[in-house]
Structure 1
């Protein structure tokens, strides 16, 4: 995939009540976040894409996670689906909720200074202490 390619994607929560469709490009920014909030939110590591466009079907619930962002989830099954910085029109989408084949490739890791003590990051991708 070249950086100018636009790829459509679809996905959903575990129960299917929340569905989404969008597009992303080669600059999708797929990074794994290892911060404490993301680990608690997802149960391990949060990885999300930055879509060019996104349409959501269903009504996600939103949780004010911090003073800079909110997190969207399904109120029925509890799936973690979205992250949105205050003041931004972009809603990041959980890579794990995207239907396969995704065509995505992890590009790096962020907030590794806060990663869990129960695993190592050994894939050779860039690691930012924070982002």
Structure 2
């Protein structure tokens, strides 16, 4: 019994810094994407979900194509979205994701979409490429 308690304490101590690092990283990523987020839209077209990234307890960036991205905010509570291993997006209107009707789905939860903001992904990529080039020139 003593070994189990010791193991639980060690595991908890190891998990706390990992959770803190994840929260810091997500906050940095959220700030980065918010710089390029545009005015909210009601819906966006999506045939399939190409990529996604959780950037907060209630925020996800989704890529329906390789060159388009959207910052989605869901209504709270959306428990453990920041630890989701996979997500889905409902599409109650044909081949569109709608802020009024659709949800982010994971771990048997449906988190209703509150807001959809397109990300100026071309500007984001151009700025990232400029930063990489400047860094390479500095070497």
TM-score by length of 1: 0.30
Higher-Rg structure is 2
The structure in which a higher percent of residues are strand is: 1
